[in-house]
Amino acid sequence: MAAIKSRDSKAEMIIRRGLHKLGLRFRLHVRGLPGTPDLVFPRHKAAVFVHGCFWHRHDCHFFKWPKTRPEFWQQKISRNVQNDEAAVAKLIASGWRVAVVWECALKGPGRLDGQTTIQSLATWIRSDRVSLEVRGKEDWLNHSRN
């Protein structure tokens, strides 16, 4: 687990580069905010989390319960999910807007078009909507079986 990056992951770097190219400026990993969001846009009062599907128990093809030490993994991943929910609730309660971008939206067979993902995130940042969730395509399995 020590080799797993919590910062500067490939998915996070894709988001950072894309939003920077669109002229959006942000702060990284602001510890003063609940959950330490990956990107913070103080001007827009927006926080963005880029979540790995395994570590945050996303309902997609990237998440499968490990077969070894099931109690440990159940406890660890469930705690991550609880921490995520608490952080989002605290951010929204204090007037911040929150977006979650899932790893499956940026890689794997169900990934979305990168430019479309970046553009929809940029549009949300500039809007007044409170939350956004960007996930990969769920119907890719149906198309691959035909």
Edge-first strand order for the sheet with 39-41 is: 27-28, 39-41, 46-51, 97-102, 131-134
β-pair partners for 40: 27, 47
Per-residue tokens: 37: 């969001």
Cβ contact 88:97 at 8 Å: no
Question: HEC states along 55-84?
Answer: CCCCCCCCCCCCCCCHHHHHHHHHHHHHHH
134 and 112 in contact (C-beta within 8 Å)? yes
Q: What is the pLDDT of residues 8-58, one digit of tens each?
A: 788 899 999 999 999 999 999 999 999 999 999 999 999 999 999 999 999
Please give the residue that has the higher pLDDT: either 116 or 83.
83
pLDDT for residue 4: 57
Q: Is the pLDDT of residue 7 over 60?
A: yes
CATH of the domain spanning 10-22+32-138, picked from 3.40.920.10, 3.40.190.10, 3.40.960.10, 3.40.50.1220: 3.40.960.10
Mapping DSSP to helix (H, G, I), strand (E, B) and coil, where does residue 130 land?
Answer: coil
Q: Average pLDDT for residues 66-88, to the nearest whole number?
A: 96
C-alpha span between 43 and 40 (Å, rounded)? 9
3-state secondary structure of 1: coil
